[in-house]
Each structure stands twice: as C-alpha cells, then as structure tokens.
Amino acid sequence: MTDWRKNLAALWVAQFLALFGFSFNQPFLPLFIHQDLGLADPSQLAFWAGLAGGATGVTMMFASPIWGALADRRGRKTMLVRAMIGGAVCVGLMGIVQSPAQLVAVRLLQGAASGTVAAATALVAAETPRHRVGWALGVLASAIALGQAVGPLAGGLASAAFGFRATFFAGSVLLACGLVPLALLVRESGRSAGAPRRVGGLAGLRQVARPILVAVGVLILGQALMQFAFISTQQMVALRILALSPQSANLATGIAFGAAGIATAVASATYSRFTRRLGKQRFAVVAALSFAAAITMGALVGSVGWLVLAVLAFGFCYGCLNPTLSTMIGLEAPTSVQATIYGVSASALAFGFASGPIMAGSVAAVTGSPSVSMLVAAGGVAALGLLVALRGREPAVTAREAASEPAGSQQVPATQEAR
C-alpha cells in the first residue's frame, strides 16, 4: 500500500518547483517580445504576445488526451516524469530564441511535451482515499498557485537584474529540480499504474454511464471557459501595466501576479471549507460570478494600484473555482478512466489557454484597448457560472464524503485509506 500523504507531500514540492519554473517568465512574455526581440509596434506586439501566449495551449489541446490515455495504461508517475523533463527542455530553449516566430515554435513544442498539472492531478486523485480527494486536490492546487505567485515576483526581480533570458534558464533548472522528490519519494500503487485495468484509456469512456459523461462534460466545458478568461486577462494585464507605468512595468507586473498567486494559493488551501457549507456546485457558481466581477473591475480602473487590487481579487476567485471544478470531475469520474478524463480536462484547459491569448491579442490589436479584451473574458467566465448553475449537478459522492468525515476531523479511516 502506498502512503498517499507522502505522495501528496512529494508532489506538492514537485509541482511548486514546476510552476515556479514555468511562471518565472510566463507573465513577462509581452515584455520579452518588446524589449529583447525588438517588436515596438503596439498592434504587432499585441498580436505576437497573444500568439506566443496561446501557442502551448494549441498543441497541449491535442496531446493531453493521448498522454492521459497512456497514463491509465502505463502509469501516471511515468507521464509526470515525462512532462517535467519536456517542460525543463522547452523553457530552457526559450532563452535562446531570436525572433517572435522562434518563440512561438518553442511554445508549441512545450505544449506537446509538458502537461505537469494534469499528470499530477490524475496521480493524486487515483492514490488518495475517495472521501479525501477534494482536500488533497486543494492542497495540490495550493502548490500550483504558490509556484505561480513566487515565480512572477522572483522573475520580475531577476529580469530587472539579469535580463529576461536568464529567467528562462533559471526556470528550466527549477523544473529539473522538481524531478528529485518525484523520482525519490512518489510511489504508485498497482491500481493507478494501469496494470489491472486494460479496459481503461479512451476506449474505456464508452463504458461510462451517460449521466456521468454529461456531468463531466459540463464541468470540462466550464474549465475551458475559466482558463480562457484567466489567461487572456493575464496577458492583457501585462499590457495595461505597460501603458499605465512603462518605467516600472517589469516590477509592477511581478508584484501584481505575485499577489494574485498568493491569493490563489490561500483560496486553494481553504476553499473546501466553503464547499462543505454551500455545496460544490453552488460554490462554483458564486466563485465564477465573482471572478467575472473582478475582471470587469480590472478592465475599468485607471491606476496601477487599483489594477493590482483587481488582479488580487480575480486570483482569489480563480483559486476557489479551479480546484472546485477539478474536484467535481474527480468525484464523478470512474477510477478506470480517471487519467483519461483528466487528460480530456487538460485538453479543455489547453483550449482556453490557447484561445484566450489569441482572442485577447486580436481584439486588443483591432480596438487598441486591452480593456475590451478583458471585458470579453469577463463575459466568458460569467457564462461559466450560468452553465454550472443550469446544467451542472452536485457530485453524488458528497453525501458519503460528509458522512465519513465529520467537520473538523482530519483522521482517515483505515478501511478508506486501504482503497
């Protein structure tokens, strides 16, 4: 029997380092294209920033279901190691590109080769006792959010001191370091490694009951809308800060996204308290509508200070919404196809990751205003709230979860832990 708590702790460290490495430079792509790659025209800058920001999502959208199906058959840990290595190589390559087109090409490769979050999520969901899945995924999400918080802060300081290219090399090293706890401490049980269930993978989806597929489909579509709104807003906030405070854009961008990441980490670690009171479906609706309001605020304010506050607010809302949807998917999905479904989920997230920046960059290039793109993003996440409210459902396992874990209890019954 694997120790799921030890696995979770090791995966927390691995994902923190991975997202630290990815986000060390992610928010600064528009500034990197402007300053290091020499693109000065505002319309061209918005276009290439959107293209570079969305490129990883394009290839990830097609690769994720394949990696997920392989994880169900060959093991989730193997796929996570592959994703970490692929991410480290691609982030390092970005440090040597000489043109926006080369940057986009490497970002396309990164999308096909990485995917650490989906792989880690599937591994945690499979190895954790069912009634503790929500809590465990929240803990994992806090590592992701904290890495995304520390990365921009450290990246902003590092880019100001050493230049943008150094941040890509540093990010690659951080991803490589994340392999250490993964390789040494994470152990995968036979039931999640894929050996006893050859019926898993994409073919196994045909055996899943239709109501479950519909429920999961609604949640996955919601994830696409969520990521569309989040990543497009992130790209446009960097451009808004550049317009409002060009002299301190690097540091201000790092502070804004660092604060948002901290808020996301806090929300991810504490959201389950709210879902126990409101229910997961109702809480997801509240978080989505609050997310839309925060993005709207960011589109309309006229100072960097208020913009940072808006980014802080939408970071907190994202930290509530993301693990809630992920937990609902994990509780709905049968174990035999869980990694496959998380692969499809990652594909939907990748679609949002790809379409968000491309849409935002195109709208900003046409209108000359990043704020318009942010308002479109707010509409997308508001649509998510309505979708979950009208077509979503509360996972059936919630009643068993509540019965097996009294409020405030953190003890895991031996019969559940042995599953």
Q: What is the mean pLDDT of residues 391-416?
A: 46
Residue 142 has pLDDT above 50, yes or no: yes
Does the pTM surpass 0.75? The reply is: no
Flag whether pLDDT at 91 surpasses 90: yes
The b-or-e profile of 30-49 (16+ CB within 10 A means b, else e) is bbbbbbbbebeeeeebbbbb
Give the C-alpha separation, 381 to 366, whole Å: 22
Mean pLDDT of the 4-26 span: 89
Angle between helices 210-244 and 280-300 (to 10 degrees): 20
Number of other CB atoms surrounding residue 181 within 10 Å: 18
For residue 346, CA distances in Å to 168, 196, 373 come to 24, 24, 24
User: Which residues does 239 contact at the CB level (< 8 Å), separation at least 6?
Assistant: 30, 45, 46, 49, 364, 370
Alpha helices for 24-132 (secondary structure H): 29-35, 42-74, 76-94, 100-113, 116-127
Average pLDDT over residues 71-88: 88
**DSSP labels, 119-165:** HHHHHHHHHS-GGGHHHHHHHHHHHHHHHHHHHHHHHHHHHHHH-HH
- In this predicted structure, the answer to whether residue 160 has a pLDDT above a threshold of 90 is no
Confidence of residue 286 (pLDDT cuts 50, 70, 90): very high
**By percentage, how much of the chain surpasses pLDDT 90?**
23
Structure confidence by residue, pLDDT tens digits, 317-371: 998 998 899 888 888 877 777 777 888 888 888 888 778 877 888 888 888 888 8
Query: What are the distances in angstroms from CA 59 to CA 20, 54, 84, 93, 245?
Result: 22, 10, 16, 17, 34
Token digits of residue 280: 């997961």
Determine whether 306 is exposed, middle or buried from the number of CB atoms within 10 Å of its CB (0-12, 13-18, 19+).
middle
Other CB atoms within a 10 A radius of the CB of residue 356 amount to 31
CA distances, 119 to each of 39, 116, 242 (Å): 36, 5, 35
For residues 176 and 87, give the distance between their C-alpha atoms in angstroms, rounded to a whole number.
Answer: 9
347 with 58: CB under 8 angstroms?
Answer: no
What are phi and psi for residue 101, nearest 5 degrees? -65, -40
CA neighbours closer than 13 Å in the CB half-sphere of residue 194: 22
Three-point CA angle 289, 294, 295, nearest 5°? 100
Distances (CA, A) of 168 to 13, 93, 97, 156, 364: 20, 8, 11, 12, 27
Residue 402 has pLDDT above 70, yes or no: no
pLDDT at residue 139 tops 90 = no
Q: Say yes or no to pLDDT of 410 above 60.
A: no
Going from the N-terminus, what domains does the chain have, and what CATH number goes with each?
4-186+207-406 (1.20.1250.20)
CA 27 – CA 49 distance, rounded (Å): 10
- % of the chain at pLDDT higher than 70: 89
